[in-house]
Amino acid sequence: MKQILMVGAGSVGGYFGAHLAKANLSVSFLLRTKTLAAVRQNGLTIRSADGSFTVHPPAASDPRDFPKPDLIILSIKAYDLDEVLTQIEPVLTEKTVILTLQNGVDTEDRILARFHRDCVVGGIAYIYTRIAAPGVIDHYKKGAVAIGELMGNQSPRLLAIADLFKQAGIPCQLADDVRRSKWEKMCWNCVFNPLTVMIDDKVAKALDHPEMLRVIHQIVGEVVAVAATVKVPLAADMAEKVVRWTSEIRDIHTSMYDDWKAGRPTEIDFLNGYVAKLGRKFSIPTPLNDLLTAVIKTITERDRTGPGVVRIDGAVVQPVSFDRAAIASLPAEHQLDISTVMPGMKGKGIRVKGLLDIPALAIGADHVTFHASDGKYSACLTLQQAREYGVLVYELDEASLPDAKGGPFRLVTPGLGDLCANVKGVARVEVTIGIGTDTRPTTCGT
């Protein structure tokens, strides 16, 4: 295996790829724009208590810029897999081997289903690293891999990959049952990745409370039960093993915690979410994994903005956002058949009073400004006018109000007379103390 293609230079791929490159192996990196620019300008740097170094490997955003690879090492997030497989497909040959270093347990099967040939070697990374900046990886603990054929045999290609890691000084264990090894790590991931986010702290915080230890046993028990249904038997004392392994790395955060703090998506759907999905498929109760999936999504989801969302902010105790479904779920007393205010149209609207009843308004709030999504048009009403006359149209013919009709949210104020406000594409409702911005022309409408 002469030509190696590393896909990604994040905390895992950056570390292992840099060590392979340092060993003078022919390693190229397939990178995204920001990381690509950094690596091209400054190289790829590993900072570690064991010694820091920088390499300057070939890097590009298109795999066709490199010689066709003999080995592709995937170190990207599980949710990026489909996009990456599309990227690398043009450079695959009948001899190309793909080594997976992702969290989760379904990556290998997803690749096999895509390419319909025996091209995959399973892998597990045991390491604690963090992205300090694009192209800069801080290494704290461990730095080993386990690899194995899905059928358990020690093939020539498996031994060749192990030799590459050996040349780079990376400990590499040959796994007799790599699927079981991946499920064992899945047990750890399903416990500590979400828990560190929920408690906003290191793994030690979760280890030091007896009540949490009971929860850990229950989470692992669900994972073990689901693994058994796909014919991967795990040890009866799996939970005790997870706790024992973690005692050696008490001071760390997790990759999910780091992703959350950095504003990146998490892999929850491929960890606890995957366990919960299989549980539903095989009728195995997974209440804790269901809960962890839902809570992590709730904690890590960014404030919703953009098309299809209207936000109420300004002089409120806490901003609140609505999509069409959230508005439709508000009490019926605030809902309105829009044919009563827009003759000839069949749809729904919500009285602005119903929207303004949701957030706690600041003491002294007396005006409401409705901003169009283009940021150029706004209409300001008194709080009383908005509550009495304002209607936000959000549905037409049982579908979202189209842009051509002023959607997805349009303010109308029937009965307000010459002070009418008609704002198309409302994206923000700003509560103010005093008069807010008003760009309405002398005549009504946008």
Question: Are 8 and 130 in the same domain?
Answer: yes
Residue pLDDT, tens place only, 184-233: 999 999 999 999 999 999 988 888 888 999 999 999 999 999 999 999 99
DSSP H or E stretch at residue 257: helix 255-261
How many domains in the chain?
Answer: 3
pLDDT band at 419 (very low <50, low <70, confident <90, very high): low
Choose the weakest-confidence range: 243-257, 294-308, 322-336.
294-308
Tell me which H or E stretch contains 187: helix 178-199
Q: What is the mean pLDDT of residues 390-418?
A: 90
pLDDT in tens, 43-64: 999 999 889 999 999 999 999 9
> What pLDDT sits at residue 24?
86
Residues 197 and 109 in one domain: no
What is the rounded CA–CA span in Å between residue 45 and residue 39? 9
Instruction: Report which DSSP code applies to 316.
Output: B
* Model confidence band, residue 303 (pLDDT cutoffs 50, 70, 90): low
pLDDT (average), residues 411-422: 82
pLDDT at 250: 79
Take residue 5 and report the two structure tokens written for it.
């293609």
Are 130 and 205 in the same domain?
Answer: no
196 Cβ contact partners less than 8 Å away, ≥ 6 residues apart = 202, 203, 205, 206, 253, 254, 256, 257
Which regions of 250-385 does DSSP assign to beta strands (E)?
309-314, 320-323, 335-337, 347-351, 367-372, 378-382
pLDDT score for 341: 79
pLDDT digits (tens, 9 = 90+) for 268-289: 999 999 999 999 999 999 999 9
* Vertex 198 angle, CA 197 and 199, to 5°: 95
Residue with tokens 């706004």: 378
What does the alpha-carbon distance between residue 38 and residue 101 come to, in Å, rounded to a whole number? 23
Q: Please give, one letter per residue, the 3-state secondary structure of 361-417.
A: ECCCCCEEEEEECCCCCEEEEEHHHHHHHCEEEEEECCEECCHHHCCCCEEECCCCH
In a domain, 214, yes or no: yes
Q: Is residue 61 part of a domain?
A: yes
The residue segments making up the domain with residue 360 are: 309-432
- Please say if the pLDDT value at position 444 is more than 70: no
Lowest mean pLDDT among 138-147, 313-322, 415-424: 415-424
Q: What is the mean pLDDT of the chain?
A: 93
What is the tens place of the pLDDT at every residue in 131-180?
999 999 999 989 999 999 999 999 999 999 999 999 999 999 999 999 99
pLDDT of residue 208: 86
**Is residue 432 within a helix (H) or strand (E), and if so which, with residue range?**
strand 426-432
Asked if residue 141 and residue 240 are part of one domain, the reply reads no
The enclosing domain of 53 has a CATH number of 3.40.50.720
Which of 176, 201, 220 corresponds to the end of one domain? 176
Pair 157, 11 in one domain: yes
Is the confidence at residue 446, as pLDDT, over 60?
A: no
Domain membership flag for residue 103: yes
Shared domain for 162 and 232, answered yes or no, is no
Q: Letter for the amino acid at 438?
A: D
The percentage of residues in the chain with a pLDDT greater than 70, rounded to a whole number, is 98
Assign 440 to helix, strand or coil.
coil
Q: Is residue 207 part of a domain?
A: yes
| 349-402 residue pLDDT tens | 999 999 999 999 999 999 999 999 988 899 999 999 999 999 999 999 889 999
Determine, yes or no, domain membership for 441.
no
Question: What is the tens place of the pLDDT at every residue in 227-237?
Answer: 999 999 999 99
Residue 440 lies in a domain: no
Regarding whether 203 and 168 lie in a shared domain, the answer is: no
Do residues 353 and 359 lie in contact, with contact meaning Cβ atoms separated by under 8 Å? no
Residues 221 and 152 in one domain: no
- Going from the C-alpha of 138 to that of each of 34, 48, 129, 233, 356, the distances in angstroms are 18, 6, 6, 36, 47
Residue that is written with structure tokens 């005692």 in the block: 247
Pick from 161, 176, 191: which residue ends a domain? 176
Q: Are residues 358 and 211 part of one domain?
A: no
Measured in whole angstroms, how far is the alpha carbon of residue 71 from the centre of its chain?
Answer: 27
